[in-house]
Every structure is written in structure tokens, then in C-alpha cells.
């Protein structure tokens, strides 16, 4: 696939949070920095007063979209925070994309679409791929849960190791498909005919998507998986998500 240069899209800091996350996003180098070895590091920290801070960035560009009859691929090589067990409770690293109409509105979610390419919570050896769409609650994407699937990472555990996470939007097949991969192995698919035409059109007919990277702390997802509120006093701060690269390709 010929490359569409995601590198031309400079990251900007955003301070929005969702789903009951407790962290405050900052532009402090303690939370968001390059590590000198080619990786972006997003690091959550807990202050003496108990406040959690972390980092979240997004591309300026917001028109990543599968061309008519073609394919969009969004891919990143990412190392989840190297922590498991009780010390990981509340960690929520993510690599995802949001529909461009969300910018400046913030009330049109989930109809504009959200592709969660990689999510992990609580240091579990699993990657989740999730689609959010339609209306909240309920709708064709079963909000607020979304349409998701998960699996263990191949070869080595997810936390603490680099794996390649990929999402594809394929308009070259009928019905159109959305596909999720880890290290080249497909583990989740959503097809156009799984939902009504209006919901599909609302998330695919706009300008396109922007890409986000963040490490949240606490919130509905880690709380639900843990069966209690997170983070907890034993949660260990300072474990980073490392990003080797993010790339976007289109095939006409």
C-alpha cells in the first residue's frame, strides 16, 4: 500500500477525558516525551496529593479514510506498560481513532465512529479491538461497550513487549469490512451488513478520522474488568507506554 504520510501530522495535546477516567492530561515531559532511542513515551504519574497525571496526543490531520473501492490501514508498533498484577490496576493504554466531526462538537459520539485499534486494562495479557458507533446507550454497537473482541498477544505477553497493532477499513469488498490485527493475526471483524445503513453511513461518510495515543488511569473499562474502582493505593506509577512508530497507508 502506498503511504499516506502520517508524519506530516504534528501531535497536539488534548485535555478531554471520557468514561470516568481520573487522570489529568498534561504537556509535562514527565508525562509525554521522546526517550532518545526513537520511541515516544507516555507515562502516568501519581503526585504526593494522590492526583494522577498522564499524556494524550492526537494527529492534527483528521482525514484518514478508506478511498472509494480501496483500503485504509492504520498501524502502530507499541509496547504496553510493563506491569501486571495489583500494581497494574487502573492502567488503560490505548491506540485509537475518532471521527473528525467530534472536534468542536464532543456531543456526537458515538455516531461519528471510534476505532479502538489497541486497548489494554489492568496489565492483563490481552489486546482489545473495539468499534463504537450508532447511539448511546444501546444501538448497533451495543454502547457503551461497543462491538469488541480480545486475544492474548502472540509470541510474548502483551504488557512489556513490543507488538504491532493494525486496523483496516476495507471498501474493496462487499459488504465493506473493518478488521483488527495483532502481529499480523486477525482477531476481530465488523461487516457493513451487521448494522443499519444510517449508522454505517454516519461513521463512514464524513471527512475521515484522526489518530490518538494515550494512557488513561481508572475509568469504566478497567473498573468493570477489575470488578472494583481503580486505580488502587497499590497501583504503581511511572510505567510507560512506548510507541516505536505509527503509520497510515491507503490502497486505491
pLDDT digits (tens, 9 = 90+) for 91-136: 999 999 999 999 999 999 999 999 999 999 999 999 999 999 999 9
Asked if the model's pLDDT at residue 18 lies above 80, the reply is no
Q: Which three cell numbers stand for residue 141?
A: 454497537
- For 83-126, where are the E strands, in sequence order? 91-99, 114-119
Handedness of CA 78, 184, 145, 121 (dihedral sign): negative
Task: Tell me what the mean pLDDT of segment 129-154 comes to.
Answer: 97
Global pTM reads: 0.92
Q: Which domains does the chain have, with CATH numbers?
A: 3-251 (2.60.120.200)
CA distance 187 to 110: 22
Q: Which three cell numbers stand for residue 73?
A: 490501514
Distances (CA, A) of 137 to 19, 70, 132: 13, 32, 11
CA distance 115 to 143: 13
Amino acid at each position: 500500500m502506498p503511504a499516506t504520510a502520517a508524519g506530516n501530522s504534528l501531535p497536539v495535546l488534548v485535555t478531554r477525558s471520557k468514561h470516568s477516567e481520573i487522570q489529568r492530561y498534561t504537556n509535562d515531559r514527565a508525562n509525554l516525551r521522546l526517550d532518545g532511542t526513537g520511541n515516544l513515551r507516555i507515562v502516568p504519574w501519581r503526585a504526593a496529593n494522590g492526583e494522577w497525571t498522564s499524556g494524550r496526543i492526537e494527529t492534527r490531520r483528521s482525514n484518514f479514510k478508506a478511498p472509494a473501492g480501496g483500503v485504509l490501514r492504520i498501524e502502530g508498533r507499541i509496547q504496553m506498560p510493563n506491569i501486571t498484577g495489583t500494581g497494574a490496576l487502573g492502567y488503560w493504554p490505548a491506540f485509537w481513532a475518532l471521527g473528525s466531526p467530534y472536534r468542536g462538537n464532543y456531543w456526537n459520539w458515538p455516531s461519528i465512529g471510534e476505532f479502538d485499534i489497541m486497548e489494554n486494562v489492568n496489565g492483563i495479557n490481552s489486546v482489545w479491538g473495539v468499534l463504537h458507533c450508532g447511539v448511546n446507550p444501546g444501538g448497533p454497537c451495543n454502547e457503551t461497550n461497543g462491538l469488541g473482541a480480545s486475544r492474548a498477544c502472540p509470541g510474548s505477553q502483551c504488557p512489556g513487549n513490543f507488538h504491532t497493532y493494525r486496523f483496516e477499513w476495507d471498501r474493496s469488498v462487499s459488504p465493506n469490512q473493518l478488521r483488527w490485527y495483532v502481529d499480523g493475526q486477525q482477531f476481530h471483524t465488523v461487516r457493513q451488513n451487521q448494522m443499519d445503513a444510517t449508522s454505517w453511513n454516519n461513521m463512514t461518510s464524513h471527512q475521515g478520522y484522526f489518530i490518538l495515543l494515550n494512557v488513561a488511569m481508572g475509568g469504566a473499562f478497567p473498573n468493570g474488568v477489575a470488578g472494583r474502582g481503580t486505580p488502587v493505593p497499590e497501583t504503581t506509577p511511572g510505567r510507560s507506554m512506548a510507541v516505536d512508530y505509527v503509520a497510515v497507508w491507503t490502497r486505491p
